[in-house]
Chain A
Amino acid sequence: MTRLMMCATQLASPATKTMFSRILTSGLFAGAAAGLIAALLQLYFVQPVLLHAELYEGGDLVHFGADPVTAHPDLPGMFAEPMRDGLSIIFTMLTYTGYALVLAALMSVAERQGHEINGRTGLLWGLAGFVAFHFAPGLSLAPEVPGVAAADVGVRQIWWTVTVAAAGVAMWLIAFGGNLVSYLIAAVLLMVPHIIGAPEPESFSGPVPTEIGALFAARAFGIGMAAWALLGSFTGHFWQTEGKRAGAAV
């Protein structure tokens, strides 16, 4: 009973509240800002490739037919479909806010262990986050254009989640492990999901030209890395400035 009361007291303690509001505030600021930039970059660089692929997915264009198909069809521009693109912006901002909350929480743990967190070190956090959440699962489950053949989505989601978790732990071990055993465990965690292999389709049936599929994967990775670099840097920056503000208030 006493212990429960003490735990409750700790939960409501000013230090806990301050820490939580610092994580939330820096996560929300960084996630919204990086998410908005990510969304605009995606709409400009990735969305046209996706719309191009959808012309093949829907059968409006067919390649390997009797006649050559133009590689430059008329595609709707940015915000030609305001609802669709608007929803994409909102969901990208939400997704990056989710990432930022995880980053800020882990930064709070790292800072307590004596590691410096700011906009510069945040850049490394962002790149590590990109590897964990985007590049590691994408190495075997390549970012896919609409219409590609793929295994059951539930099975792929399980493989994605396990791979992200393993790569996340690996990134932490590489950054903070500080000894050979940590690095070896990290290497194993990074490789094993790909040695086991991602769920693959029974047969290939995708109607989209390989040029479009390859460009889509490259663009998705490139924009993802840029957005994550910004996200890490922003989260580190806001983490530091929110800490100063909280320190000044106390």
Chain B
Amino acid sequence: MSDLNKLTLADARDRLRAGDVTSVELTEACLRAIDGADQLNAFVHKTPDLALERAKAADARISEGDAPAMCGIPVGIKDLFCTEGVASQAASGILKGFRPEYESTVSGQLRDAGAVMLGKLNMDEFAMGSSNETSVYGNAVNPWKVDGRDLTPGGSSGGSAAAVAADLCLAATGTDTGGSIRQPAAFTGTVGIKPTYGRCSRWGIVAFASSLDQAGPMTKTVRDAAIMLQAMCGHDPKDSTSADLPVPDFESMLTGDIRGKKIGIPREYQIDGMPTEIAALWAQGADMLRDAGAEIVDISLPHTKYALPAYYVIAPAEASSNLARYDGVRYGHRAKLAAGDGITQMYEKTRAEGFGAEVQRRVMIGTYVLSAGFYDAYYNRARKVRSLIKRDFDTVFADGIDAILTPATPSAAFGLGEMANADPVQMYLNDVFTVTVNLAGLPGIALPAGLDAQGLPLGLQLIGRPWEEGELLKTAHVLEGAAGFVSKPAKWW
């Protein structure tokens, strides 16, 4: 049986339950695909033996009946998740050699549900980046290609997006602090959802900016996202910000009926210089939802313009605090010291050697905005602006808006290395449509909606009300059906 790695998660689940295919067969198909895809540099730590062991256990469980939906499904896990006994280094040199003694709650829930981990996936270092170019493992490469250039799969969950798009795994975990699930999903023609802040436990996920970080699934379809998200969600006593709310059956909410829903189109997202193709796709998306019976409403989110600068104060501030733990004492890299070096030199040399340039830059920016004399001017002001950004969303939702439609990214995937000489702020603009969602703690989903003139995928984003991932997935499912995106990258790797 060939090409089992190309199945959707939902199809694989149904065929596993029907006894049509085994998890071992699915897993072997994925492992073969992974071994043939080293050029994509998506899987950076492969765990084939562990995968086959788990696949056998999943097959035994399925044959006993009553296995959960994820049982036997081969998945990739972003390197940001701590996985017991398996290298977990957040794509950073400072965590070289780190093998956690524990499992993150989210990857543990997937493991306990019978999902089969194939290995760890490439990403930007500490999830700081929008192109997967800050990774200590080197760039992950987008399976989509239109000329001789290697394109970025986006970031920070670039390895996850590349692996799902190239059918190396049926689905993958990602994390999203400012767009790190949704932007790579858009660049690779895949689906990625960031749930409401608090839906997924952050315990055991290497922290970047704790008030913004959320895990979520990266999949081939909206249905797959619903299935996998459900397995990842839920209250965890080990994360005090995780929500003690019931997790609905998301898949059963994909009814296809969105009649009467009010979909907002925020005028502030019509930014200067937006490519006409993206503007056209956005308008087509609104037409599709209207045709499905939704009402399209123009709305205003007046503080949108300030989301990026607020984010680039808050996220580095939190990062500078979170990353203080990498001191060369308890885990990871420690610099070789010269005679007479004391503990301060150990910290300074270890962190200079272990952190890449972008991480160093953000830690220092965060340190600056939190330092005496600047805390009010930068950090407190940014937190006030964040309150206003959230208030913008609260207002439109109170006015009856059910979901908001926007483009996912301001461009299609760009070439690796093409931003190398750009100002750091230019790279930050990738997050312009996604970052508001993290600042307001809302659920957001990116799904593929078309190809640009070159033949590269473009995505749309839907933003939902807090805790209403089910309704959001329902709307996304309708849009997915109407857009009818079925293109896959031609295999060149």
Q: Do A and B come from one complex?
A: no
